[in-house]
Amino acid sequence: MSFSLHGIGVSKGIAIGKVHIINHDPVEVNEYCVPTLHLDKEVARFENALATARQQLLSIRDRIPKDATVDIAAFIDAHLLMLDDSLLTRVPIDLIHEHQCNAEWALKMQCDSIIQIFEGMEDPYLSARKNDIAQVVTRIQRILHGYTDIEFEPVEAELANTIVLADDLSPADTIFMQHHGILAFATEYGGTTSHTAILARSLGIPAIVGLRRAHPYIQPDDTVIVDGFAGVIFVSPDERSLRYYRMRQREEKRYRAALSKIKTAPTMTRDGTPITLHVNIEFPEDMAAVKRVGGDGIGLYRTEFLFMNRQTLPDEEEHFDAYSRVIRALKGRPVTIRTLDMGADKQVVDSRFHGGSSVTNPALGLRAIRLCLKAPKLFKPQLRAILRASALGQVRMMIPMVCGLQELVQVRNIVEEIRTELSIQSLKFNPDMPFGVMVEVPAMAICTDLVAPYVDFLSVGTNDLIQYTLAIDRGDEAVNYLYDPLHPAVLRLIKMSIDGATKVGKPISMCGEMASDSRYVRLLLGLGLRSFSVNPEAFLEIKKIINNSNMKGLARFAKKILKTSSQADIADLLETINA
Ligand code: PEP
Ligand code: MG
């Protein structure tokens, strides 16, 4: 029987294929007593499970592609080491004998006590190791429970050409899956501007989030159609639907091909206002997509992805190497390297530095620049690498999540120290490298005119600006309905930022996802924005709209919208400008 399920379409595109289900749900642990006579058998069952877990990990490690961009092997090796540790191999056996309990129960007792010890540790790195323990234990519990699959592992071979259905996916999972050639994904949780959704758009993978309770209705290998435009998944579609969606796929392809004709055209409104249009990237590998669309600069390079899916921190040389690759590919065009924005939904290097899942409200906690200023071990190698890279091309450095001048002064002082260090070491850097700041905390938007004189450029990060202005978690589908770029408060803050920067003659851009949404381009032009940085998939579409717009009248429209209180009226006005 064919039917459809509805969620939130977060990455446009259509995919047709077989479902691959990823289940992160914890296994239910049964607890029962084992008669003395059967204790040896129970121990043997546990030891077999350990051996199977080891085999699974080895087989996963063998299948890591040679060209993997992330240190997957180190991640698997850490789990293999844990499987050799007596804490997980010997102690549960002692517990089986001591309490005459089943293997699952013994393992659970031991896992709980290890995790308790780790949680009590002062050192945030060690405290965060509990995630690894939990993952290894879950693997063994699943085997004891009788699951024969090797569970979701990023290097799962069967991912190619499938449509992944999962409860939730981290940005790290998404990178792994893209590497393995998935066609699309759908999750039960997640919001429009979660980093997972942003990655999907950036990687061009059709995606739907917020498909609550989809799991019971969809089976592995079911054929589905993912409509990332409408946020609908069609399960076991009939021939007519398949024909219709195949036709839509062909149309989409034709539309993309037609768009590529404007690749080399300048970005300029019909009445001659030049607009800067740059691209957002996450990896040096994204430069291929930038080249494909003809992007002539990077307005946001999210460097935190260098920290994901690995157990060790990248050192200065690794940073430098990544930045150099981007700079070389740009051939003299500008790149805006944003310093590490780790924390909240970007849990990287096992959240070792930001308290991980034990933090009640990570989006308001030690994230981005707050974390970097607290952890020089993270920050300094990156700053050194950015400064050194500045000698190779047009590099600009941008600081995320700043909420006031004080943080900027602190960063400037560290940068100054590093410059002195580099000079002493006779290492080259650009002493005039532009230094910029993101406007993504309401405090910063309100005070843009006060902060702008101290920086060389600014960029509005609407993903966070909206989250913090409207007090809604950008990754939570339950409040996604409130996530509205057209909320008068958001529009007023954007206007304040643009005016504040312009007043003191500082360039301001927008690199949040609002800039990548074709519906808002004319409104943003009307609000005075002259520089956009967008994801590679949206680039040509945004360029087309800019090139088809007349500045005349847009400022008046924007003014009218700023004075409108009802969101429905704002949407109507927007339709008029977009007509
Ligand atoms: C933003 O907040 O708009 C932004 C561009 O940063 P990120 O999405 O990486 O938080
Ligand atoms: Mg942000």
Is the overall model pTM greater than 0.95, yes or no? Answer: no
Q: Is the CB of 190 under 6 A from ligand 1?
A: no
Ligand minimally distant from the alpha carbon of residue 201 = 1
* Residue 494 phi, psi (nearest 5): -65, -45
- Cβ neighbours around 468 below 10 Å, total: 22
Nearest ligand 1 atom, CA 460:
3
How large is the angle between the packed helices 39-62 and 130-145, nearest 10 degrees? 120
Looking at residue 64, its pLDDT comes to: 64
State whether the beta carbon of 464 lies less than 6 angstroms from ligand 1: yes
What atom in ligand 1 is closest to the CA of residue 511? 5
Tokens standing for residue 334: 């500008």
pLDDT at site 202: 86
Asked whether the beta carbons of 193 and 474 are under 8 A apart, the reply is: yes
- Annotation says 111 is catalytic: no
- Residue carrying the six token digits 């409860």: 167
Whose atoms come closest to the Cα of 299: which ligand? 1
Sheet with 8-11, edge to edge strand ranges: 3-6, 232-235, 223-227, 14-22, 162-166, 184-187, 207-209, 8-11
Spot the catalytic one: 20, 79, 179, 195: 195
For ligand 1, whether the C-beta of 511 sits within 6 Å is: yes
Beta pairing, strands 457-460 & 435-439? parallel
Q: 102: which DSSP letter?
A: -
CB 401 within 8 A of CB 368: yes
C-alpha 301/C-alpha 284 separation (Å) is 9
The alpha carbon of 302 and the centre of ligand 2 are apart by a number of angstroms equal to 9
Biggest CA pair distance of the chain: 89
CB atoms within 10 A of CB 346: 24
DSSP strand pairing (8-11 vs 207-209): antiparallel
pLDDT in tens, the chain (579 residues): 889 999 999 999 999 999 998 876 667 788 899 999 999 999 999 999 999 989 888 877 776 666 655 555 776 788 889 899 999 999 999 999 999 999 999 999 999 888 888 777 766 556 556 767 877 888 898 888 877 554 444 445 678 899 999 988 877 778 878 888 899 999 998 888 888 888 899 888 999 999 988 888 898 899 999 999 999 999 999 999 999 999 999 999 999 999 999 999 999 999 999 999 999 999 999 999 999 999 989 999 999 988 876 767 899 999 999 999 999 999 999 999 999 998 776 665 544 455 544 567 888 988 999 999 999 989 999 999 999 999 999 999 999 999 999 999 999 999 999 999 999 999 999 999 999 999 999 999 999 999 999 999 999 999 999 999 999 998 888 898 999 999 999 999 999 999 999 999 999 999 999 999 999 999 999 999 999 999 999 999 999 999 999 999 999 999 999 999 998 899 999 999 998
If one looks up domain 270-578 in CATH, what number appears? 3.20.20.60
What is the 436 CA–ligand 2 centroid distance (Å)? 14
Q: Is the CB of 343 under 6 A from ligand 1?
A: no
Measured from the CB, is residue 462 less than 6 Å from ligand 1? yes
Distance 207 CA to ligand 1 centre (A): 19
Say how many Å lie between the CA of residue 338 and the centre of ligand 1.
10
**CATH dotted code for 1-237:** 3.50.30.10
Check pocket membership of 302 for ligand 1, CB cut-off 6 A.
Answer: yes
Evaluate: CB of 512 within 6 angstroms of ligand 1.
yes
Give the nearest ligand 1 atom to 463 CA.
3
- pLDDT of 126: 63
378 backbone dihedrals φ, ψ, rounded to 5°:
-80, -45
Rounded to the nearest 5 degrees, what angle is found at the Cα of 476, between the Cα atoms of 400 and 22?
A: 105
| Residues across the chain | 579
Measure 371 CA to ligand 2 centroid, in angstroms.
14
User: Which residue, 345, 342, 356, is CA-closest to 134?
Assistant: 356
Tokens of 123: 């050192």
Residue of minimum CA distance from atom 4 in ligand 1: 461
Residues of the chain with CATH 3.50.30.10: 1-237
Which one of the ligands is nearest to 513 CA? 1
Mutate to test the pocket of ligand 1, among 280, 340, 463, 531 (most ligand atoms within 8 A of CB): 463
Instruction: Give residue 157's pLDDT.
Output: 61
Among the atoms of ligand 1, which is closest to the Cα of residue 400? 6
Which atom from ligand 1 is nearest to the alpha carbon of 513? 3
Phi, psi of 30 (to 5 degrees): -85, 140
CB of 12 closer than 6 angstroms to any ligand 1 atom: no
Alpha helices in 7-102 (DSSP H): 39-62, 72-83, 86-89, 91-99
CA atoms within 13 A on the CB side of 329: 23
What is the DSSP pairing of strand 184-187 with strand 207-209?
parallel
CA of 463 to the centre of ligand 1 (A): 5
Residue 285: which residues within 8 A CB-CB, separation 6 or more?
69
Residue 511: active-site member: yes
Evaluate: CB of 463 within 6 angstroms of ligand 1: yes
- The CATH 3.20.20.60 portion of the chain extends over 270-578
Q: How far apart are CA 172 and CA 151, in angstroms?
A: 16
Angle formed at CA 23 by CA 18 and CA 29, multiple of 5 degrees = 145
361 CA to centre of ligand 1 in angstroms: 18
Q: What is the SS3 assignment for 489?
A: helix
CA distance 332 to 81: 46
- Report pLDDT for 497: 98
Which of the ligands is closest to the CA of residue 280? 1
CB within 8 Å of 240: residues ≥ 6 apart: none
pLDDT value of residue 189:
87
Report how far ligand 1's centroid is from the alpha carbon of 511 (Å): 7
CA distance 551 to 68: 46
For ligand 1, atom 7, which residue shows the shortest CA distance? 463
